[in-house]
Structure 1
Amino acid sequence: MNTLNRRSFLRGAGVTAAGSLMGANLHMFAATLPDQDRPMAKNDHLQIALIGAGGQGQSDTKVALQVPGIKLVAVADCYQGRLDHSKELWGQDVFTTRDYNEILARKDIDAVIIATPDHWHKQAAIDAMRAGKDVYCEKPMIHLYSDGPEIIETARTTNRIIQIGSQRVSSAVYAKAKELLAAGSIGQLNTVTARWDRNSAIGAWDYTVPLDADTQTCDWPRFLGTAPKIPFNAEHFFQWRKWKAYGSGVAGDLFVHLFSGTHFVTNTLGPTRAMATGGLRFWKDGRDVPDVMLALFDYPEGFNLSLRVNFVDGGEESEGLIFTGSEGTMEIAGNSVSVSRVPRQKAPGYTISTFTDAMQQRFLEQYRQKYPVVHPEGDPPLGYDKYVAAPGYSDSYDHFKNFFDSVRTRKPVVEDAVFGFRAAGAALLSNLSYERDNIVHWDPVKMKIV
């Protein structure tokens, strides 16, 4: 992760100011960078453990350890190779085990990162909270709808901190978009369009299977957990997202990020109606979840959300959200937010040109009296503005920083189990609609299928 000295950044960027980029007004805003954090006192240090040391788990831990005052002391995983690699990454003194209960029994662990397959999220989170540990749980929070209320209730009764790992909720970029939308920069919101497309084997979950994968190096029974009992299958073990017994398809992996961002920016509790379509178009390798999915959602606030994931997009990985309003559009792409304002004006009907010149003139005079110009140029400003976060900014870092701040202070997290359930519950509507070949309804307040 790149870093930038705060003083030099503020001197160079002028905090908010400007310049021109392809005709745009360019604004740079300061954002927390890793080297800006204050040193931690000894009694503020936290000891954490990782449960699930795959690609996401190792990535999460590397980011978490950049937050001052955090030390990794234990790792649990069902594959011996990842336990061995954890020692290579973080030191031979790191305790490793295939059974996460050995970690939860330790008194020297304050919090755990759960990055298991989806079908283990609920049980691992509940076990950790009951053992007195605070929890950072990867998205989607749930694998089944019944998981949500159990996790929420356990967090309440144990009084433990749990944060769900959709980092957009901590993003300074999404916070800027939220601010701009609330300020009326694009008028009344009517649609949100979001996508996350890929075109690679790794992007399509065709993860590497190690050469030593067998029943000795892999704890297959423990991995299966509540999933159907089948003979050892290395692809199921290492490429688990391709099967709905362990994962949640593109909806649980990628739609949930787009829901989290949309819900945060718009301050909504979720959709009321959903419909989805798609299919297995290219990656016909034994998986039982689609590689192309499109879905539409109705929101009670008066806007619609359109989502797309395409694992055969013919190009580079592409992600973004476009918010369309009555007077402009706002796009989030990477670490930037762009706003294009074109305030709508009432205009005479197209057929006015078929009238006589005299009638056209009379009509236009009356029309101008009835509909005076509401937004003269510059009020609000027309044109294009782009807001860019500081170089080196990471919303993943901010998300972990916010989690550890909550662990220390016991203040509410930025993404609690209720928010996580609403985002994941909305995302999994896509799978439900796809499987039923029907429209499905959701109560975002009660968080229930209707």
Structure 2
Amino acid sequence: MSKNSKHTRKDFIKTLGTSALAIAGVPAILTANSPKQISYLTRERYAANSNIQIALIGAGGMGSQDTYTALKHNGIKLVAVCDLYDGYLKKAKENWGSDLFTTKDYREILNRKDVDAVIIGTPDHWHKQISIDAMRAGKHVYCEKPMVHSLDEGHEVIQTQKETGMVFMVGSQGLSSLGNEKAKALLAEGAIGDINYAEGFWARRSPIGAWQYNIPSDASSQTIDWDSFIKNTNKIPFDATRFFRWRNYKDYGTGMSGDLFVHLFSSLHFITNSFGPNQIYASGGLRYWKDGREVPDVLLGVFDYPDSPQHPAFNLSLRCNFVDGTSGTTYLRIVGSEGSMDVEWDKITLKRNNEQFDDPFLAAKSKEQGLKTGRKQILPQEEIVYQAEEGYQGAHYDHFANWFNAIRGGSPVTEDAIFGYRAAAPALACNDSYFEDRAIKWDPVKMKKI
């Protein structure tokens, strides 16, 4: 084992044997001929001890989903909503009450004394400014991923969080999953040896999945504040397609990597304690969705992670395909010298090579006897599956629990501005590499392009 490994393989197997025996009596989980073993993932819950009044800025699809999830928690009340489209403001009142304060100017939200915290679900090009304005107005912030729209925006958000002391959380919701937490523990215990490679894949095909979002029939310059939408970017005439399908355009979105790769970076960095890669290269193209979009629908990224106090050097490959005929495949796989883990938000599948897998269930004497007589032995399982218990409310729920707990004075958030920027940076650099057709050098410690 290298200097980075905290436990030996035998330590892990010893622990595995103990935990496996502890759950052996669970009904309907283990069968005599099953090659897999399933353990349940659990987490301690925090109790609500104070009320928090929130506002939503950006009430489209993700912002609304964030709000629905936030309101599942005790002691949370929605008091205001901001959006640039009349239809979303009308829907907000229908969903959350006619007495809800609504506006098209987010500054009116920040001026309200009854707002403790805001959820920012706007297009990417507004994340930085609204986050900074909100923190300076004394509001805690939950900002959807990616935290920023370009590489040069991250440090200003970090500095504002430090200066204001507000609780700032980036919304890569899978980060707070039971799956990520178990994978982090397994890696630290030496379950797969030393990490040397990781890969991730995200596939979509349907129009909505490929960002062909619905354009309402009443979309017009009368129902949409277009001037505010483009205020901080290139000035062009009203275009409903750009407003509702903003992810397709570089002025407002961050492409496939900013939408999806950033989730995989967040999970990987959490599991490995990594600061990020030092070299990024991307390739891809526009293969199918030739609808005027400016970003590719197939993207491949290759990332070099340097040797560090947190982990050995390893390589990462990420792929995203919006033209996938099988549709819907998503995974993050972490490969080590002695095994691998497939990481999902509610499940971990640990795979190990039988030739390296010590048997924790047979006594040494029995092994020796079997070797002497040539008699066949019972082999250990090749896979161990860790599954979330029934009733688990999911990573999205837990991510908000993390934010609310921090606001109430508990432990700091997992995905603060520094963590969020270190996850966003390689995704944004991936775009730079694609459009500039060159490798991007990055300092993951200083968080600066080289």
Same fold (TM over 0.5): yes
Cα offset, 1:323, TM superposition: 1.1
* Aligned residue number for residue 25 of structure 1: 37
Runs (5+) with no aligned partner, structure 1? 1-11, 346-376
Counting aligned pairs with the same residue, the percent is 53
The AA in structure 2 aligned to 1:388 is: Q
More deviation in 407-416 or 288-297?
407-416
When residues 378 and 430 of structure 1 are mapped into structure 2, their CA distance, relative to the original with a 3 A threshold, is: farther
Assess if the C-alpha contact under 8 Å between 1:16 and 1:27 holds in 2. Answer: no
Structure 2 letter corresponding to 1:236: R
Q: Which amino acid aligns with 1:112?
A: V
| Residue number among 342, 353, 369 corresponding to 1:342 in the alignment | 353
- State yes or no: 1:136 paired with 2:147: no
Q: 1:332 aligns with which of 336, 343, 346?
A: 343
- Look up the equivalent residue of 1:92 and give its one-letter code: S
CA distance in 2, matches of 1:58, 1:421: 24
Q: Which amino acid in the other structure matches residue 157 of structure 1?
A: E
Q: Which amino acid aligns with 1:103?
A: I
Q: Contact 2:125–2:253 (CA<8 Å) still a contact in 1?
A: yes
Are the equivalent residues in 1 in contact too, given 2:178–2:345 (CA < 8 A)? no
Question: What's the secondary structure of 2:198's corresponding residue?
Answer: strand
CA distance in 1, matches of 2:101, 2:77: 12
SS of the residue corresponding to residue 212 of structure 1 reads: coil
Q: Paired residue for 1:159, among 155, 159, 165?
A: 165
Which amino acid letter does the alignment assign opposite residue 29 of structure 1?
A: L
Distance 1:96 1:13 in 2: 55
What TM-score does the superposition give when structure 1 sets the normalisation length?
Answer: 0.86
Residues 370-423 of structure 1, C-alpha deviations (whole Å, 9 max, x = no match): xxxxxxx999x6621000012242110000011011111064211100000000
Please point out which of 282, 285, 291 is paired with 2:297: 291
Relative to the length of structure 2, the TM-score reads 0.86
Q: C-alpha separation between the residues in 1 aligned to 2:425 and 2:278?
A: 11
Find the aligned partners of 1:163 and 1:378 in 2 and give their Cα distance.
49
Matches of 1:263 and 1:269, distance apart in 2: 7
Does structure 2 conserve the Cα–Cα contact (< 8 Å) formed by 1:18 and 1:28? no
Of the three residues 108, 122, 126, the one matched with 1:102 is 108
Q: Which residue of 1 aligns with 2:427?
A: 427
Q: Which runs of 5+ in 2 are unaligned?
A: 1-22, 307-311, 357-376
More off after superposition, 113-122 vs 383-392: 383-392
Cα offset for 1:31?
3.9
> Which segments of structure 1 move beyond 3 Å, counting only runs of 4 or more?
12-18
Compared with structure 1, are the counterparts of its residues 445 and 198 closer, same or farther at alpha carbon in structure 2 (3 Å cutoff)?
Answer: same
RMSD, aligned α-carbons = 2.1
The 5 Å alignment of 1:15-414 reads 18-20=29-31, 22-31=34-43, 38=47, 40-41=48-49, 44-300=50-306, 301-342=312-353, 383-393=382-392, 394-409=394-409, 411-414=411-414
Letter matched to residue 134 of structure 2: A
CA contact (8 A) 1:166 1:257 kept: yes
> What is the SS of the residue equivalent to 2:326?
coil
Give distance in 1, aligned partners of 2:333 and 2:349: 9
Q: Deviation at 1:184?
A: 1.1
Deviation readout 1:218-274 (Å, 9 max, x if unpaired) = 000011121111000000000000001000000100000000011111111100111
- Counterpart CA distance in 2 for 1:324 and 1:173 is 16
Secondary structure class of the residue paired with 1:93: coil
- Match for residue 374 of structure 1? none
Q: Would the aligned equivalents of 2:177 and 2:345 in 1 still touch at CA under 8 Å?
A: no
Matches of 1:206 and 1:13, distance apart in 2: 48
Work out the number of aligned pairs and report it.
401
Q: Is the 8 A contact 1:197 1:319 kept in 2?
A: yes
String of CA shifts for 1:24-80, please: whole Å, max 9, x gaps. 011122246xxx764x45xx1010000000000000000000011000000000000
**Cα distance in 2 for residues equivalent to 1:188 and 1:182:** 9
Q: Supply the distance in 1 between the matched residues of 2:38 and 2:240 (Cα, whole angstroms).
A: 50
Counterpart-to-counterpart distance in 1, 2:247 and 2:120: 16
Change (3 A) 1:422 1:37: closer
**2:205 partner letter:** N
* One-letter code aligned to 2:128: K
| Equivalent pair of 2:41/2:182 in contact (CA under 8 Å) | no
Q: Secondary structure at the match of 2:151?
A: coil
TM-superposition CA deviations, 1:96-124 (whole Å, max 9, x none):
00001001001111000001000000000
Secondary structure in structure 2 of the residue aligned to 1:96 = strand
Compared CA separation, residues 414 and 14, structure 1 to 2 (3 A) = farther
